[in-house]
Chains A and B, each alone.
Chain A
């Protein structure tokens, strides 16, 4: 089976946005056109995060999902602001393959179980924002879960939360390192590997991907099944083909025909 290269598109009020270390968000384009381009260039999967502040504008996201589904024929997941099974159901019916839950799942872990039961585990992606902290009795791994877009530390051990998420019925886990996010200095290999080794569901590494070598490192040494990239694609620093050629040449199995 191939390792996957996944692009993350943050969407705010229907526009593609990019943040650095969870702040300084800028609008940089149309998410639907961008998704279509990446699809044509050989991307394996997409993740859309709705970072719209007001819940009044959630329908804009559903419209984005619908338009993506009409012209992009690879799997994609949607997250951001999904609090109930009904919220999840709406994005799946609009054409998403999977839902991504983060803050709402930490505050209400039953959401994972309920969504998994309603749609199947393969539809439920547990996304977690993690930062390194000095180890404590509660956070023995030294990695803590933070919610609300990086604003609220939870005193919850990331490794324990990943295991709990799997038990509750998550089908995949996105591990986003807040420390690495936006730095382009490489993924948090140690964190990714600890989580990948602790669960038996696929793990997607996120945060810090700045060069093809970083993807190689996290997909081999980091034991990740997929690597999430954002700004290096959005700002045309690398093409998807360049990322995949690098992995392919170093004998990481990736999809090369598209």
Chain B
């Protein structure tokens, strides 16, 4: 059973629908107490980093997530969930969970014809192997919607990248945590494969 964290950051039902389609059991939880004892956690979200952190703290989800991370429970962050696992976000100048050292800057692009948010399908290239990315093939694309991106301090935490004028991290990880900036639940068969891989991942890097 996967527990999906609800912290009022966007529509979680699309993640749940994707897991339902794959016959992967899941449940939506919204407090630290409900999260405790999870076998596996998905941490999704769209929206504002500072607001999201405030809600996580209010519901003691930050504490329960930290415990889960330390206990080695597999965790998948999606979109905003891939940003606030870092130590800081420039969005609202907020301290974040700090499971991975790093920051989330906003795109600052020279080519003004490139739009922000970065919204649409874009190619993701793996930079080191990971179980969750095991089906990734050359040319595989995922659906993105974001204005900020995760930038770990240590390159070794980057598992895949994407190009949008700059090359930015699209998938990051550390120990039993893996996080993707794109939306696997909206990325067709290739995205569903990634979710299935997460459901079978033992949490080893």
Contact = CB atoms under 8 A, between A and B. Distances in A.
Interface of A: 1-2, 4, 39, 44, 69-71, 73-75, 92-93, 95, 97, 120-122, 171-172, 200-202, 225-226, 255-258
A122 B120 contact: no
A120 B121 contact: no
A193 to B, nearest CB: 13
Given A73-B186, A257-B139, 11 more contacts: A1-B164, A70-B21, A73-B185, A74-B186, A93-B11, A93-B13, A122-B117, A171-B117, A200-B115, A255-B121, A258-B188
B186 A71 contact: no
Contacts of A1: 118, 120-122, 164
Contacts of B14: 69, 95, 97
A122 B119 contact: yes
Nearest to B137: A257
Interface in B124-170: 137, 139-141, 143, 145, 164
Contacts of B18: 73
15 contacts: A44-B120, A44-B121, A69-B13, A73-B21, A73-B186, A73-B188, A74-B188, A92-B11, A171-B119, A202-B115, A225-B120, A255-B141, A257-B137, A257-B141, A258-B189
Contact of B140 (A4, A202, A257): A257
Contacts of A93: 11, 13
A226 B121 CA distance: 11
Contacts of B119: 122, 171-172, 202
B11 A73 contact: no
B109 to A, nearest CB: 11
Nearest to B116: A200
Pairs A-B, 7 closest by C-beta atoms: A2-B121, A255-B141, A255-B121, A1-B122, A257-B139, A122-B145, A257-B140
A258 B143 contact: no
A1 B115 CA distance: 10
A257 B187 CA distance: 11
A97 B120 CA distance: 12
Contacts of B11: 92-93
A95 B145 contact: no
Given A1-B122, A70-B20, A93-B11, A258 B190 contact: yes
B52 to A, nearest CB: 13
Contacts of A71: 21
Contacts of A75: 143, 186
A3 to B, nearest CB: 8
Contacts of B97: none
A1 B143 CA distance: 10
A93 B118 CA distance: 23
A100 B188 CA distance: 22
B46 interface: yes
A244 B12 CA distance: 31
B51 to A, nearest CB: 12
B46 A120 contact: yes
A97 B123 CA distance: 21
A240 to B, nearest CB: 12
A258 B188 CA distance: 7
A200 B190 CA distance: 30
A200 B112 contact: yes
B75 interface: no
Contacts of B186: 73-75, 97
B42 interface: no
A115 to B, nearest CB: 14
A109 B187 CA distance: 32
B106 to A, nearest CB: 15
Contacts of A257: 137, 139-141, 190
B98 to A, nearest CB: 26
Contact of A202 (B13, B120, B121, B190): B120
A73 B115 contact: no
A15 to B, nearest CB: 23
B8 interface: no
A123 B121 CA distance: 16
